[in-house]
Amino acid sequence: MLKAYKYRMYPTKQQEEMFSKHFGCVRVIYNWALEQKIKTYEQDGKAISRFTLNKTIPTLYEDRKWLKEVNSQSLRGATLNLDNAFTKFFREKKGFPKFKSKKNPVQSFSVPQHYEVDFDGNKVKLPKIGWIKTKLHRCFEGYLKTATISKTPSGKYFISILVGNEKNLPDKQDFDENSTVGIDVGIKDFAIMSNGEKIDNPKHLNNSIKCLKVLQKRLSRKQKGSKNREKARQEISKLHEKIANQRNDFQHKLTSRLISENQAIALETLNVSGMLKNHKLAQSISDVSWSSFVTKLEYKAEWYGKSILRIGQFEPSSKICNVCGYHNKNITLADRKWQCPDCGETHDRDVNAAVNIKKFALNKQNLVGI
């Protein structure tokens, strides 16, 4: 089983310079490798492998001697990242790989091997850089795999260490109707459970939007290239980082609770990218971050042997009475409550949807009939 552990790093000025060199050199190799792949395909109609590219990297040292100043394994890690980008392009249709820019908000490089972690001394040793002060706030057991060093737009440095162990993922636990919860996500309420519980939407971005607008106005008034403009940009980056941290903290706490309290969780598949085309709701949908919430549920379910059940995005969960099954086609998005004309039951739109999501998911598992 593989797990990643992320820690804050506190490099010295000299170490920050070495980080910058690694970021730049890895970016150069990535762009060079992407260019070689494009040219080879255009000329020969064939793809060039990363192993062939790795053998060619030493020939670049003649014209670019500064490449020798960084870890050679990190340079070869750039071709692996490029291969992964092409894999996503062909398999998941994630978009053709793009050339990297030094203006990208997040810069990173990988260290596949030959690094050390000292929990007692709170430091990490990286090739060509040395021991770096690191806040190792939690320990791990297992063998070290690839480490990734990154710099955030706010100027902070982090290391993400991938750790492997001999443990296997636990077997999926049995579940039934009583140990399953249906969840309908929303904007007014972040999540609505089939048991009637509603989780308020904290609206982290909306709470900070006024302050963000003020900071962006200040940035627009600063002269380009000046130190004051860089300071203003840093302030905006710090606020965005704070919002992201608040959102992640909220989602981690909620997903951990849901996974610990239930054996299975039923969810509705959502076309988030399509919903973002609605400009009136785009900002609220981005702020609520449903995709991130579902991702956390999925990997935590794998860790603890729980099940995630999915229903299709076109299932009419909001329009069907969960008591008698009547399909009310006249409901609009503005109708938050409605009464079933067949059985007379009054429904809260979101709670009714959560109950139906649970029913539809369990019906596909042949556990209940509707």
Q: Is residue 350 annotated as part of the catalytic site, yes or no?
A: yes
Catalytic entry in 63, 83, 184, 189: 184
Residues 6+ apart with CB under 8 A from 63: none
Catalytic entry in 171, 298, 345, 350: 350
Residues 6+ apart with CB under 8 A from 329: 319
Q: Is residue 268 annotated as part of the catalytic site, yes or no?
A: yes
Catalytic entry in 62, 177, 268, 342: 268
Query: Using an 8 Å Cβ cutoff, are 33 and 52 in contact?
Result: no
DSSP state of 123: E
Q: Return the HEC string of 265-302.
A: EEEECCCHHHHCCCCCCHHHHHHHCHHHHHHHHHHHHH
Nearest to 2 by CA among 141, 164, 170, 169: 164
Q: Return the HEC string of 130-166.
A: EEEEEECCCCCCCEEEEEEEEECCCCCEEEEEEEECC
Question: Catalytic amino acids?
Answer: 184, 268, 350
